[in-house]
Chain A
Amino acid sequence: MGKELRGYKIGVMLQKGVIYLFLLLFAMGFLLPFFFLLTGSFKTSSELFSVPFRWFPKHITLENYEQVFTKIPFFRYLRNTVIIVVLNMVGALISNSLVAYGFSRLRWPGRDKIFMIVIATMILPYQVTLIPLYLMYTKAGLIGTFVPLTLPGFFGNAFFIFLMRQFLVGIPKELTESARIDGAGEFTIFLKLMMPISKPVLATVAIMSFMNSWKDFLGPLVFLGSDRLYTLSLAASMLRSNLNPNWELLLALGVVMVLPVLILFFVLQKYFIQGITMSGIKG
């Protein structure tokens, strides 16, 4: 009996070990591209292109980073990206909280049916609206401005509305009822009572909005037009499509573009995960 139990325990240990090893190798695989990005950004071009592959640079160089800041108008691209990102964040916070409030705390005829339309628009592929929007902006002379990439952000986003509504629905009715009896206006209740409680979900929306515009590529590609307005992502793709891309510069630029997001993630991990987890709830 004792022997059998020990055999069983060893078996369990072995199984655990195998699973852990499998996960470990898999995780290493996920880290490999990051490892390459980081080490590659410090390599000279001859080392970068060397065959066979060199795991670590022999001569660490900072020249690639220097090039990012001197050879390309990095700060202009950064400024463009930040303008788009910030306007989208501000727009998302204002519009989605207002709309979500209207869909959750106030009763009006047809509300829940219209909310279904909001949900339905989530699965609408961007490509369907892209061409008419492009033609619309062309007619309005807005191609080559930030308007197409920032204006829609002020009119609500289906996913963010869903996210905020989920949160607002959960707040007890009594809280607003007593304020209403005290004669507070609807907007005051929204601004002074609901918004302070909603800070966690507002943070989630802000972060997801930031990520969307920071990562966006198709939007800038279609709507921006001139080099003067390029975002970092668009600039990086244009540099890559050169006949002889400057790969050392591109890798350093990649590190510069990934680092702020990673830092933000490690500081605000909770809010990142929250948004994604909540997106799964509706399944």
Chain B
Amino acid sequence: MTGLKEKLFGEYIHSTQRKKEALHGLLFVLPWIIGFLVFTLYPIISSFYYSLCNYNVIGKPTFIGFNNYVNLFKDKTFIKACQNTVYMIGIGVPVTTFTAVLVSLLLNNKKLRGTDWMRVVFFIPTLVPTVVACLLWIWVMQPDSGIVNTVLGYLHIPGPGWLSSPTWAKPAFILMMIWTCGNAIIIYLAGLQDVPESLYDAAAIDGAGFWKQSLHISVPLIRPTILYNVTTLIIGVFQWFAEPYIMTEGGPSNATMFYSLYLYQNAFSFFKMGYASAQAWIMLLVAMVIILVLFKVFKFNETEIG
């Protein structure tokens, strides 16, 4: 026992100076510790407790075991919300990632000049308050007087009903997702900057053009960055709330009922706090599993390069 204690804290026991430093250290991080306990740990634990309860705020929570979880999987709206969220993760996230990586690769092409202003253009949509972005996109996507369909009309393509169409509402949201991918582009560009120039030169001597270089050098080397951005996007999709809440309220016929919107409705429209907490816990677990799998698949293996 003492042996272990010696091993762990030995230098802190024997040196008053180290002891003092440790004490100071704890004092400095104290705000975070309090915040973590009050605003994170306690809510997480009580959220799990509520998820096992029937709780409508007014009465007291009554314990019902895993009934909320069982009922969720019998709930048609919940299943629909899951399907829509899977759609966004399965189609929206890859499309957005592909676009962001492609644009970053093109912007990073040093032979191409006069693209600096475009970086700014791609970034500024992320500065728009979410609510304003939603108001804008309602109009941009307007079936008969919106800009998107007007432009499509010039190309003689009949534009769809976008937000009012069950088929096209989700693609409309994907377009909006792409519009706000500026953060990712900035991060990719920073990652691309770290790729040593000599690698490109060597590939050029071997006769590899821009696309080959991008595919075989740039993309593998920015894999960690892609992983980070994909993770952020997926967490973002799970938390996607303001957009469907303001733009479609989940409609038409639940086509844009996404996970967090339904969670919000259960909690704050129907006051089913336990039910919504169960939803939150499923979301946490699923998000964690997805992230773990991604890390396994994308695992940054240094021996592969070189």
Contact = CB atoms under 8 A, between A and B. Distances in A.
A131 B112 contact: no
B139 A40 contact: yes
A282 B24 CA distance: 27
Contacts of B22: 106-109
Contact of A53 (B36, B147, B241, B245): B147
A214 B26 contact: no
A152 interface: yes
Given A22-B106, A127-B283, A283-B224, A30 B125 contact: yes
Interface residues of B, number: 102
B29 A102 contact: yes
Contacts of B260: 127
Nearest to A269: B120
A19 B273 CA distance: 52
B21 A125 contact: no
A131 B280 contact: yes
Contacts of A117: 36
A184 to B, nearest CB: 12
A36 B27 contact: no
A131 B50 contact: yes
Size class of A's contact patch? 35 or more
Contact of B127 (A126, A134, A232, A258): A258
22 contacts: A20-B112, A36-B139, A52-B145, A98-B29, A98-B31, A107-B18, A108-B21, A123-B287, A124-B44, A125-B287, A127-B263, A128-B280, A129-B43, A136-B43, A156-B31, A156-B36, A232-B129, A236-B131, A237-B242, A237-B246, A240-B246, A261-B129
Interface of A: 15-16, 19-20, 22-24, 26-27, 30-37, 40, 49-53, 95, 98-99, 101-103, 106-109, 111, 114, 117-118, 121, 123-136, 138, 152, 154-156, 161, 186, 190, 211, 214-215, 217-218, 222, 232-234, 236-237, 240-241, 247, 250-251, 254, 257-258, 261-262, 265, 269, 272-273, 276-277, 279-280, 282-283
